[in-house]
C-alpha cells in the first residue's frame, strides 16, 4: 500500500559543513544474524538506526532471542533461548537480508525455514548460489510455496565454487560454515568491505576465517563460539551518497568517521568530473565549484564502482557537461530512478542495461516516487540540485538504509523536511 508520507526538498542550497557517517547497513544486516551462531551473548555497536535493523530485531525476538536494543548506542543479543528455526512470511518480507537467517540458523541448529525475502525490486535476485553453497556443506534444500527449507543432519565443510561473484551467497555460506565440521573453502568469493567486517566479527567470536577480502575464503568450523563486543564499519554507500550530494550542490563538506580507501572508485570518478576530493585517515572533504564534466560509469564488484552508488551518481551526471554513459552490470532493473528524474528535466535514454545521459544546465523540482532504497537516494540528490520544490513519495524506501538522512542534510544547510499527506 502506498504510504502517506512525502519528503520535501527545496533545491539550490550549497551543502556546507561537517557530518559524521553512520555504521554500515550491509554489514549490520550480516552481523546481527551472525550473533545467532554464538553460544554466549554478543554486543554490537555503531549500528545504523534504520528500518532494516529494526526488522532484524523483530526477527531475532520472534525466534526467541533476548535482544536489548538502544538505537544509536548498542544492541545485545542473547541467542541461548532460541529454539525456533522458522521465520514468518511477513518478517521475511521486510528486508532482503532476511535470507541470512538461512545460513545463521543452519549453522546454529542444522535447520532453517525462511520465506523468499522482500527488499528492493532491482532485478530478479535469485538465491540459487546460496542454496548451492549450503548443499556443498551437506545440507538438503527444498523450495515449496515460497518457502526455503535447508537442513543438514551433519553440516560438513566443503568446497564452494560460485558461478558469479555474489555478496549475499558469500555471506550466507560463511555463516553456516563457521559452525560446520571441518574446513570450507569459498572460491570466487565477493570481496566487499562488509565481507571482511563479517569475517572479523566471526573471528572475534573464536571462528577461524581467513582470506576475507580476497576471492578465496577459508573457514574452519568451530563447535563453540563465545560472546563478543563488536563495532561495525562505517557505511560506504552513505559516505558515497553524501560525497555525491556535496558535489551536486557545489558545496564544501567534510565527512567524518568514514574509511577513504573504501571510496576509491567513487573518488576517482568525482575527480574525473572536476570535483575536488581530499582525505585523511577517517575523513573525506568534497568541494565543488560546478562545471562538472560528463564521465562514463560501469558498475562492478568491489573494488569496482558499486552498483549501490550508480543511482545517486547518475542523478549527479544529469547536469554534467556532455554525454555520460552508465552501464549497470549487476542488477537488471536499476534505472527506474532515471524515469523519475526525467520528470525534473533530465535528458536520458535507457537501453537495456545502459543509460545515456545528456547533461542539462538545470533540473526543476517535481513530484517523484522512490521505487527502491538507492533510487530514493538518487531523487534526494536530484532534489538538492533542482530549482524549486521536489516532492519525493514513498520515502519509506529511503528509511530502510539511511540513518536520519534529513537531519544530516539539514545540518549541512539543505532545506528538507517530511510531511504526512492528509
Residue 46 makes contact with ligand UD1 by CB under 6 A: no
When CB distances to ligand UD1 are compared, the closest residue is 168
Interface residue with ligand UD1 among 92, 127, 253, 313 (CB under 6 A) is 127
Helix (H, G, I), strand (E, B) or coil at 284: strand
Our finding on whether 164 is near ligand UD1 (CB under 6 A) is yes
Output 274 or 304, the one with its CB closest to ligand UD1: 304
Nearest to 108 by CA among 132, 130, 86: 86
Are residues 369 and 14 in contact, defined by beta-carbon separation less than 8 angstroms?
A: no
Residue 97 lies near ligand UD1 (rule: CB under 6 A): yes
Closest to ligand UD1 by CB, 279 vs 308, is 308
Do the strands 367-369 and 389-393 form a parallel or antiparallel pair, or are they unpaired? Answer: parallel
Query: What residues contact 268, with CB distance under 8 A and at least 6 apart?
Result: none
Q: Is 120 a catalytic residue?
A: yes
47 lines the binding site for ligand UD1 (CB under 6 A) = no
Toward ligand UD1, which CB reaches closer, 15 or 242?
242
d(CA 400, CA 354): 26
Query: Considering only CA atoms, which of 292, 414, 301 is closest in space to residue 15?
Result: 414
Longest dimension (CA), the chain: 63
Residue numbers 307-346 binding ligand UD1 by CB under 6 A = 307-308, 330-331
Q: Which of residues 343-372 bind ligand UD1 (CB under 6 A)?
A: none
Applying CB under 6 A, which part among 69-77, 121-129, 200-208, 217-225 lies near ligand UD1?
121-129
The smaller minimum CB distance to ligand UD1, of residues 30 and 270, is found at 30
Phi, psi of 393, deg, nearest 5: -85, 160
Binding part of the chain for ligand UD1, among 105-113, 139-147, 164-172, 218-226 by CB under 6 A, reads: 164-172
Helix (H) or strand (E) holding 108, with range, is helix 100-109
Give the Cβ contact number of residue 17 at 10 Å: 12
Catalytic residue (choose from 42, 92, 120, 258): 120
166 binds ligand UD1 (CB under 6 A): yes
All three cell numbers of 1, joined, read 500500500
Tell me how far, at minimum, the Cβ of 327 lies from ligand UD1, in Å: 14
Q: How far is the CB of 187 from ligand UD1 (least distance, A)?
A: 15
To 10 degrees, the CA torsion angle through 281, 284, 285, 290?
Answer: 150
Other CB atoms within 10 A of residue 109 CB: 17
State in angstroms the smallest separation of the CB of 270 from ligand UD1: 20
Beta carbon of residue 140, minimum distance to ligand UD1 (angstroms, whole number): 17
| Contact (CB, 8 A) for 238 and 211 | no
> At closest approach, how far in Å is the CB of 388 from ligand UD1?
31
274-313 footprint of ligand UD1 as x/- string (CB under 6 A) = ---------------------------------xx-----
Cell of 319: 547536469
In Å, how far from its chain's centre is CA 296? Answer: 23
Contact 308, 355 (CB under 8 A): no
Choices 13-21, 166-174, 243-251, 387-395 (CB under 6 A): range interacting with ligand UD1 = 166-174
Chain residues in the site for ligand UD1 (CB under 6 A)? 26, 29, 96-97, 123-130, 164, 166-169, 190, 307-308, 330-331
Which residues are known catalytic residues? 120
Amino acid at each position: 500500500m502506498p504510504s502517506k508520507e512525502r519528503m520535501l526538498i527545496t533545491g539550490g542550497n550549497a551543502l556546507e559543513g561537517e557530518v559524521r557517517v553512520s555504521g554500515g547497513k550491509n554489514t549490520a544486516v550480516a552481523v546481527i544474524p551472525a550473533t545467532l551462531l554464538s553460544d554466549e551473548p554478543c554486543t554490537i555497536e555503531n549500528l545504523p538506526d534504520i528500518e532494516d535493523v529494526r526488522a532484524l530485531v523483530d526477527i531475532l525476538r520472534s525466534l526467541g532471542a533476548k535482544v536489548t536494543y538502544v538505537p544509536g548506542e548498542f544492541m545485545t543479543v542473547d541467542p541461548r533461548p532460541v529454539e525456533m528455526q522458522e521465520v514468518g512470511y511477513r518478517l521475511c518480507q521486510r528486508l532482503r537480508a532476511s535470507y541470512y537467517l538461512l545460513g545463521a540458523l543452519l549453522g546454529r541448529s542444522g535447520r532453517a525455514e525462511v520465506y523468499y525475502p522482500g527488499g528492493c525490486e532491482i532485478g530478479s535476485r535469485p538465491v540459487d548460489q546460496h542454496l548451492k553453497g549450503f548443499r556443498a556443506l551437506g545440507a538438503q534444500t527444498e523450495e515449496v510455496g515460497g518457502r526455503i527449507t535447508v537442513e543438514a543432519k551433519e553440516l560438513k565443510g566443503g568446497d564452494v565454487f560460485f558461478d558469479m561473484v555474489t555478496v549475499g551467497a558469500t555471506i550466507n555460506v560463511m555463516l553456516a560454515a563457521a559452525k560446520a565440521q571441518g574446513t570450507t573453502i569459498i572460491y570466487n568469493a565477493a570481496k566487499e568491505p562488509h565481507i571482511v567486517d563479517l569475517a572479523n566479527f566471526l573471528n572475534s567470536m573464536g571462528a577461524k576465517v581467513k582470506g576475507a577480502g580476497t576471492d578465496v575464503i577459508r573457514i574452519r568450523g568451530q563447535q563453540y563460539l563465545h560472546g563478543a563486543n563488536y563495532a561495525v564499519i562505517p557505511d560506504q554507500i552513505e559516505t558515497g551518497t553524501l560525497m555525491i550530494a556535496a558535489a551536486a550542490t557545489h558545496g564544501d563538506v567534510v565527512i567524518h568517521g568514514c574509511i577513504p580507501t573504501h571510496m576509491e572508485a567513487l573518488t576517482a570518478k568525482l575527480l574525473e568530473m572536476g570535483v575536488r576530493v581530499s582525505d585523511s585517515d577517517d575523513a573525506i572533504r568534497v568541494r565543488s565549484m560546478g562545471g562538472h564534466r560528463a564521465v562514463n560509469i560501469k558498475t562492478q564488484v568491489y573494488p569496482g564502482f558499486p552498483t549501490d552508488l550508480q543511482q545517486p551518481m547518475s542523478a549527479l551526471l544529469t547536469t554534467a557537461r556532455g554525454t555520460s554513459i552508465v552501464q549497470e552490470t549487476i542488477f537488471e532493473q536499476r534505472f527506474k530512478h532515471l524515469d523519475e528524474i526525467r520528470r525534473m528535466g533530465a535528458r536520458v535514454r535507457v537501453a537495456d542495461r545502459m543509460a545515456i545521459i545528456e547533461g542539462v544546465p538545470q533540473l526543476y523540482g517535481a513530484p517523484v516516487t522512490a521505487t527502491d532504497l538507492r533510487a530514493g537516494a538518487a531523487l534526494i540528490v536530484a532534489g538538492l540540485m533542482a530549482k524549486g520544490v521536489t516532492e519525493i513519495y514513498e520515502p519509506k524506501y529511503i528509511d530502510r538504509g539511511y540513518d536520519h538522512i534529513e537531519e544530516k542534510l539539514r545540518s549541512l544547510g539543505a532545506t528538507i523536511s517530511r510531511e504526512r499527506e492528509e
